[in-house]
Structure 1
Amino acid sequence: MTINRICVCGAGTMGSGIAQVAATAGFSTLLYELNENVLTQARDQLQRQLERLESKGKLQTGEAAVIFNRIHFTGGLSECIADVFIEAIIEKPEPKAALFNTLIKQNSETAIFATNTSSLSVSAIAEATLAPSKVAGMHFFNPAPLMKLVEIVQGTQTAPEVAATLTDLTRRMGKTPVRCKDRPGFIVNRVARPYYTEALRLVEEGHADPATLDQLLEGLGFRLGPFRLMDLIGHDVNYAVSSSVYEQLGRPERLRPSYIQEALVKKGELGQKTGKGFYHYQSEK
């Protein structure tokens, strides 16, 4: 199918990052967000980020403005008319399915609906919609503009041509698509759980502190140690994924979520985005 316009729903860190990726790839992009303050913040941050890339020579002179102008920011759901929708809203299946159903009713029969969920069942979300064959997973990783991998998740009712279209779209966005089936944690989050949970368990048991473990693992070749990586992802997101995979796999002890990370979430110390997690961060000026 011909893709002219992409609509990203949700203007948080992940949603705004996906919108930047889409606009940079040349697509007319809608960024929808119901919360006006979040939408304004996303607009300002995207403009600053693009200007910063241009000042560093990573974009050609004048390119930042061209990319930014491809993005239309809206708080009106009725304006969301597009060929492909990528939702990055709250990590709960009911609101995701409800959003898709509203969009399905006001868009063409050929429109495709992709969820950026990192751990929820794509099949369950799709089955709660009016067009389950048009729903698939398109899981970007944080930060979306930098991370190359995108998991294309095919639910039990996802039409093969939908998965194929999203795979091609991922390549056009300059990313590397990996096709996978709808399983708990998909591929990356399933494999990554022990990296986080075992590191957290060592801290829980008093064997080492986060900085030491990060230093050791980075010294072995990991680009980021588990604690720096959890701070980057956000503890709210990371803990939710750990909890979801743990529940879906029948609560194996080896994947039990950490009470240390749960405590950080309850305190609102979510990592880089709040200025504090396992480490302290200066706020962006």
Structure 2
Amino acid sequence: MSPIQTVAIIGAGTMGGGIAHIFARSGFAVLLCDIDQTLLDKSLARIRTNLGREAAKGKLTSDEVEAAAARIHLITDRDQLSQAEFAIEAASERLEIKSELFRSLDTILPPSAILATNTSSISITKLAAQTNRPTQVIGMHFFNPVPVMALVEIIHGLQTSQTTFETVRDLAVRLGKTPIEVNDSPGFVSNRVLMPLINEAAFTVMEGIATAEAVDQVFQLGMAHPMGPLTLADFIGLDVCVDILRVLHQGLGDPKYRPCPLLVRMVDAGWLGRKSGRGFYTY
């Protein structure tokens, strides 16, 4: 397989923008696609700001910042992604949304292209079954903030080929990341372990055992976590946490994964964490 040079990134939110940032910084031509031109413009502006911060720390020169930004092409029409050798979607954590995307990308990208997903919990095998290239479908789960966090979970679907895995593993290394190999299972490793922790922390608040501040202090001071689980939940997005817990609950059938009613009520109220200005804390 020839080296990947052009990548398509579908979804210009926090994760999609972060993924576009690191690909452009690493020398790839980036096709950043979203249906919302305003969101695309905001994403590029945020990427420029973050590249500028890296330059201020001496990690990039001003010329490298401009070159990286110039490699990002904003696209609202998926049909314009046809020259990409690799695509990764960073859409909402809903199976129906991602399935539609994979069916569409399968018809647009060349037959040799790899289709990846940044999903944090949804089955790679189910997404691969939406395409005519299941051996070329894989999970590439980045962590937020993408330019900073070193880990990438590389997730095999049932039919993912070893060639696809090795290509994507090497791609992660080219991006300066540390790839960890994981097999397909709800939540993979990261969220299979993390979400029950966040969920149980929410139960302790709901049951009046402790305040959110106290729960977080226990983990920061007693377990040396850089931030407590409820601060982290606000950072991830409480709606994302609930979506992942529902995937775990449905996929594994164990009641221990049922979302805490307090989390569900907060999402229903629009209290999604940092992105909405209110979650367990006010921002």
**What TM-score do the two structures reach when normalised by structure 1?**
0.94
Aligned-pair identity (%): 40
Q: Which residue of 2 aligns with 1:243?
A: 246
Kept after mapping to 2: 8 A contact 1:121/1:183: yes
Q: Which residue of 2 aligns with 1:48?
A: 49
Q: Which residue of 1 aligns with 2:65?
A: 64
- What secondary structure does 2:262 align onto? helix
Q: Does 1:6 align with 2:3?
A: no
Superposed, which structure 2 residues align to 1:19-58 within 5 Å? 19-58=20-59
Superposed, which structure 2 residues align to 1:100-249 within 5 Å? 100-219=102-221, 220-249=223-252
Alpha-carbon shift at residue 138 of structure 1 (Å): 0.7
Alpha-carbon shift at residue 63 of structure 1 (Å): 2.3
Q: Which runs of 5+ in 1 are unaligned?
A: none
- What secondary structure does 1:144 align onto? coil
Alpha-carbon shift at residue 40 of structure 1 (Å): 1.9
Distance 1:58 1:274 in 2: 31
- What secondary structure does 2:140 align onto? strand
Alpha-carbon shift at residue 261 of structure 1 (Å): 1.4
Kept after mapping to 1: 8 A contact 2:152/2:180: yes
- What secondary structure does 1:273 align onto? helix
Distance 1:194 1:89 in 2: 23
Alpha-carbon shift at residue 59 of structure 1 (Å): 2.4
Q: Deviations over 1:5-64 (max 9, x none)?
A: 111100011111111111111111110001222212212222222223323433223322
Q: Runs of 4 or more off by more than 4 Å in structure 1?
A: none
Kept after mapping to 1: 8 A contact 2:26/2:175: yes
RMSD over aligned CA atoms reads 1.4
Q: Which residue of 1 aligns with 2:90?
A: 88
Alpha-carbon shift at residue 91 of structure 1 (Å): 1.9
Distance 1:167 1:147 in 2: 16
Letter in 2 for 1:243: R
Q: Which runs of 5+ in 2 are unaligned?
A: none
